């Protein structure tokens, strides 16, 4: 059977957080990632980290494809400070994703994800439309954005709180106290 052709996709959105934080958050692959956008409930996504080095992460996902369980393995190549690439192969799809971050005026970050995917192995029938795939992925990243921005706000609040605590520790004693 001849190889199936690749379909190309793109999504982009802005984060209200600085690029170094966004990069660290997005590339901190974890088994808990499925909970960020509700994928653990929606498609039963389970993730297992196989290997992690400063420049590479390998993980496997298992999830309900709607026509049976899907398995995929991704090798992520980290390219700090602003990009990374994931090459994935599984029983339903082959996918190659390129992620890029760009600083925005005011301290925010632009997130762009371009990828190509093609059916593989057990895939049957026509693939979903480009618009449907991009809409689905954009919605996942909007949910993740909410979590990322909440995490950033909490980090800033904790840093401000610690800074205030240090100022109180080094403040001179009140001369009127005995």
Cα 99 from chain centroid (whole Å): 9
Phi first, then psi, for residue 4 (nearest 5°) are -80, 150
Distance from C-alpha of 84 to C-alpha of 9, rounded to nearest angstrom: 16
For tokens 């990069």, what's the residue? 23
173 in a structural domain: no
Q: For each of the chain's 178 residues, which pLDDT tens digit applies?
A: 556 789 999 999 999 999 999 999 999 999 988 888 777 767 788 899 999 999 999 999 998 877 778 899 999 999 999 999 999 999 988 999 999 999 999 999 999 999 999 988 888 788 889 999 999 999 999 999 999 999 999 999 998 888 777 655 554 444 444 4
Which ranges constitute the DSSP H helices of 63-175?
Answer: 130-170
Q: How many CA atoms lie within 13 A of 46 on its CB side?
A: 6
Domain that holds residue 28: 7-168
174 in a structural domain: no
2 in a structural domain: no
């Amino acid at each position: 059977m001849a190889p199936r052709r690749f379909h190309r996709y793109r999504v982009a959105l802005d984060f209200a957080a600085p690029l170094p934080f966004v990069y660290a958050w997005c590339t901190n692959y974890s088994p808990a990632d499925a909970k960020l956008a509700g994928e653990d409930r929606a498609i039963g996504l389970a993730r297992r980290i196989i290997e992690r080095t400063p420049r590479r992460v390998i993980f496997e996902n298992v999830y309900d494809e709607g026509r049976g369980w899907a398995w995929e393995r991704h090798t992520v190549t980290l390219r700090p400070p602003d990009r990374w690439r994931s090459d994935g192969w599984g029983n339903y799809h082959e996918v190659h994703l390129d992620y890029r971050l760009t600083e925005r005026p005011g301290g925010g970050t632009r997130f762009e994800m371009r990828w190509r995917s093609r059916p593989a192995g057990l895939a049957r029938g026509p693939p979903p439309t480009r618009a449907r795939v991009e809409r689905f992925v954009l919605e996942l990243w909007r949910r993740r954005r909410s979590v990322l921005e909440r995490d950033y706000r909490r980090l800033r609040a904790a840093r401000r709180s610690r800074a205030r605590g240090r100022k109180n520790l080094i403040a001179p004693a009140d001369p009127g106290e005995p």
